[in-house]
Amino acid sequence: MDFQEIWRKVKNGAKAFWLWIKPYLLRFHQWRKRIWKKYHVNKIVLLLALVGILVMSVYLFILAKSVDVETLQSSLKQSTVIYDEKNEQAGTLYGQKGTYTESDQISQNLKDAVVSTEDRNFYNHHGFDIKGIGRAALGLVTSGHITGGGSTITQQLAKNAYLSLDQTLERKAKEIFMAIEIEKKYDKDQILTMYLNNAYFGNGVWGVQDAAHKYFGVDASQVTVGEAATIAGMLKGPGIYNPIDHLDNAIDRRNTVLSVMVENGKLTKEQEAQEKAVDLGSQLNDTYSSADSGYRYPSYFDAVIDEAVERYGLSEKDLLSKGYKIYTALDQDYQQQMEAVYENNYNFPANAEDGAMPQSASVAMNPKNGGVQALVGRRGEHVFRSYNFATQMQRSPGSTMKPLSVYSPALEAGYKPDSVLKDEPQSYYTAKNYDGTYQGEVPMYQAVAQSLNLPAVWLLHEIGLNKGYAKAEEFGIPLSKSDKYYGLALGGLEKGTSPLQMAAAYGAFANEGKVYQPYLITKIIDSTGAVVVDNNKPKYEQVISKQVANEMTSMLLGTFSNGTAAQANPAGYTVAGKTGTTETNFDANKVNDQWIIGYTPNIVISTWLGFEKVSETHYLSGTSGSEVGQVFKAEAESILPYVKQSAFNVADAYATGGQVVAADQVNNQEDSSSDSSKWKEDLKDIGGKASEGVASFFEKAKAGADKLKEKGQELWQQYQPGN
């Protein structure tokens, strides 16, 4: 069968189908017309459309009214400034903002060029242009989306200040309503000035003043007509029309702007020809100095932005461009010392064979109020608001969890630092000590300082999983349901925690059992002076008693004097704290994470070390004391000279045999071991005499009881019948 025969049969079949279905379609059409007319569907559709337009108009009107245009000018003039805990300026946040220049310092050439190309009816409309809206609507119909154009200078100002860059009908509608509100508040010269200061000109430059310096090395008041045309031409596409990167494109665009200025009556033909003849390349002169230098402490400032966005609901765009004053807990001395440690690669293990850098993060916190005084979120080159290991990380904390999930609740349950714990394998959970040995029994203070695993697991079993799990949560450690197992004693968590959270938890031991929610921001003031955030009275939870905090500190002092952090002990300072490690899942002798947390009565320093992505080629091999401990030691020795020095209330448990004794009763210095020994002997003598006294008392009491018994028996015999 040939193709023509097939095609003839297909046509005949289609014709037959049409003849069959046509009567049914006609009947359906007649029925639809009757229903449409009977129920006035046209009127209903029109009414619904009008109601929709009304609702949308009311929404946009309310939205426009809710925007605080009163603060627009002041917010554009001011940069967002970060202040430290002494209310001294620490730096500025960079954003969509350059050097603000008043109207009389902006060349009329620039104003004429921008108005001619961007909005030639600028001085005649009230914020929106009907013809421009028509062009945008036509683009929507022909291409299916808003293609750009149609926005007045006022609308563009509203977009830059308040809205996203998405080309949508909704955004265009918002622009119009906000532009109307702006026009009510400001005159045309103010609006144009704000726009020129808030527009982007490529190469990280905002505003005409910085653009004039970036491309021509002059102030905005000094640009020539041709230079003004070049700057104005960049508004259409700064990435492709700036003369540094695309000179030919910039020349073509400059010439177009000059022609438009002639059409708009701002230039003569002679002036146009004269300016077009100028060699644009010979005019280029970059004298712009980046404002990013104000972003002095990148990790800390990133964390400030994160906290303002996540805790207080401010937007990043507003923070960067609306001239806030942000007061923080920052101590610039601490921060500078911490950053210096991180800039010195000798403080860290060598890179992996493929060049991957071991990452690290640290937090220094004031335990008396929870204020974060210094913070470094990662090593290497800074990327704006990149992943911050200090605040965003979730890694298992290893043995640094033991004081939180085991030893603190055990002390609350009546155990003491000298209580004897089992140091042997248990049937209910497989674990081992770091060196693979065990002693059978060990006092608690030694188990803490030496970070022994078996006693911690045994003790968690003794006090109960529920008690340990609940106490860790009270310390502010985020736990999953799957964390309720004996591995909790060793810090094996499903998700994990961050240096910031661990610093807050250990703050309880330094500050009488109080845990504060850690914070960076104390107050935020907007460009008008209104306080939008006030965190000057942070709240705390009393998670353990002062007595338990002192008992834990007495044991944690031993970590640095005789335990796993002895190598990390900062010279000349007394520090308490804990180390921790986590094993890789491919080799128990290799390490994922190393932690060390140390504190004095006035500061907590929490430090983590590890690779961003652990693999068989990315791992740590040393101990916490020898690797992350050296980072901590360098930090502590640099920061502690700036910290108010206060002595601990209690002595090192190693110096007292596990007894909790006031620090001023024991001399813990290395050169006074004889005095310490004498103190211990005196303690034993006192205990011995007390024991002898108690024994003597019971002997006398027993003798008296025997005499009473004998006397009673005599009386009983006397009164028996027959006597």
Model confidence at 694: pLDDT above 70 = no
Residue 482 confidence (pLDDT) above 60: yes
The confidence band for 147, taking pLDDT boundaries of 50, 70 and 90, is very low
Quick: pLDDT tens for 328-375.
999 999 999 999 999 999 999 999 989 999 999 999 999 999 999 999
pLDDT score, position 29: 76
Q: What is the pTM of this model?
A: 0.73
pLDDT in tens, 159-206: 877 655 444 555 566 677 778 888 888 999 999 998 998 888 988 788
pLDDT tens figures, 640-687: 999 999 999 999 999 999 999 999 888 644 444 444 444 444 434 433
In which band, very low, low, confident or very high, does the pLDDT at 150 lie, cut at 50, 70 and 90? low
Which residues are bridge partners to 365 per DSSP?
372, 604
**Residue whose structure tokens are 């004889």:** 674
Out of 187-196, 218-227, 330-339, 706-715, pick the least confident: 706-715
Active site residue 396: no
- CA 385 from centre of chain: 8
For residues 516 and 523, give the distance between their C-alpha atoms in angstroms, rounded to a whole number: 17
Instruction: For residue range 487-529, list pLDDT tens digits in order.
Output: 999 999 999 999 999 999 999 999 999 999 999 999 999 888 8
Q: How far is CA 615 from the centre of its chain?
A: 26
Q: Which range among 68-82, 236-250, 502-516 shows the weakest confidence by mean pLDDT?
A: 68-82
Give the CA distances from residue 544 to residues 205, 408, 505, 557, 587, in Å, rounded to whole numbers and listed in that order: 53, 8, 11, 18, 37
Burial code (b: 16+ CB inside 10 Å, e: under 16) for 460-492 equals bbebebebbbebbebbbbebeeebeebbbbbbb
Q: What's the rounded Cα separation, in Å, for the pair 720 and 642?
A: 88
**Which region among 47-56, 161-170, 464-473 has the lowest average model confidence (pLDDT)?**
161-170
Is the pLDDT at 539 greater than 70, yes or no? yes
pLDDT, position 685: 44
Annotated catalytic residue: which of 85, 107, 116, 118? 118
What is the reported pLDDT for 255?
Answer: 95
Place of tokens 């060793």: 490
Structure tokens at 83: 């202040």
Pair type for strands 81-83 and 420-423: unpaired
Give Cα 257 distance to the centre of its chain.
45
Place of tokens 């360098």: 634
Alpha-carbon span 290 to 214, nearest angstrom: 10
Closest CA to 438 of 423, 449, 458, 427: 423
How deeply is 5 buried, as exposed, middle or buried, from its count of CB atoms within 10 A (0-12, 13-18, 19+)? exposed
Range in 86-90, 115-119, 457-461, 588-592 with the lowest mean pLDDT: 588-592
For 565-611, how does the pLDDT look when each residue is reduced to its tens digit (9 = 90+)?
Answer: 999 999 999 999 999 999 888 887 789 999 999 999 999 999 999 99
SS3 484: coil
Mean pLDDT (the chain) is 85
Q: How many residues does the chain have?
A: 723
Taking the C-alpha atoms of residue 309 and residue 306, their distance in angstroms, rounded to an integer, is 5
Measured CA to CA, the distance from residue 27 to residue 451 in angstroms comes to 89
What's the rounded Cα separation, in Å, for the pair 208 and 106?
A: 8
- DSSP H helices, 368-443, are 389-392, 402, 408-412
> How confident is the model at residue 38, as a pLDDT?
66
Joined tokens for residue 45:
């559709």
Q: d(Cα 258, Cα 275) in Å, to the nearest integer?
A: 8
What is the C-alpha radius of gyration for the chain, rounded to an integer number of angstroms? 38
Task: Say if CB 478 and CB 497 are below 8 A apart.
Answer: yes
Which of 181-190, 440-449, 663-672, 695-704 ranks highest by mean pLDDT?
440-449
Q: What are phi and psi of 166, to 5 degrees?
A: -65, 135
pLDDT band at 240 (very low <50, low <70, confident <90, very high): very high
**114 vs 264: CA distance, rounded Å:** 11
Query: What does DSSP assign to residue 297?
Result: S
pLDDT bracket for residue 323 (50, 70, 90): confident
Residues 6+ apart with CB under 8 A from 721: none
The strand order across the sheet containing 531-534 reads 89-92, 81-83, 325-328, 521-525, 531-534
The C-alpha atoms of residue 712 and residue 717 are separated, in whole angstroms, by 9
Residue 637 appears among annotated catalytic residues? no
Tell me the C-alpha distance between 641 and 599, whole Å: 14
| Given the residues 79, 399, 498, 676, the one annotated as active site | 399
Distance CA 441, CA 428 (A): 18
Task: List, in sequence order, every beta strand (DSSP E) within 16-88.
Answer: 81-83
For residue 715, the model assigns a pLDDT of 42
Query: Which pLDDT score, from 0 to 100, does residue 14 have?
Result: 82
Res. 720: pLDDT tops 70: no
Angle between helices 269-276 and 247-263 (to 10 degrees): 170
CA distance 717 to 350: 94
pLDDT of residue 263: 93
- Confidence grade of residue 18 (pLDDT, cut at 50, 70, 90): confident
Mean pLDDT of 524-541: 92
Q: Which two tokens stand for residue 416?
A: 């003491």
Asked whether the beta carbons of 592 and 582 are under 8 A apart, the reply is yes
Cα–Cα distance measured from residue 209 to residue 222, given in angstroms and rounded to the nearest whole number? 10
**Contact 497/593 with Cβ under 8 angstroms?**
no
Query: What's the pLDDT score for residue 30?
Result: 78
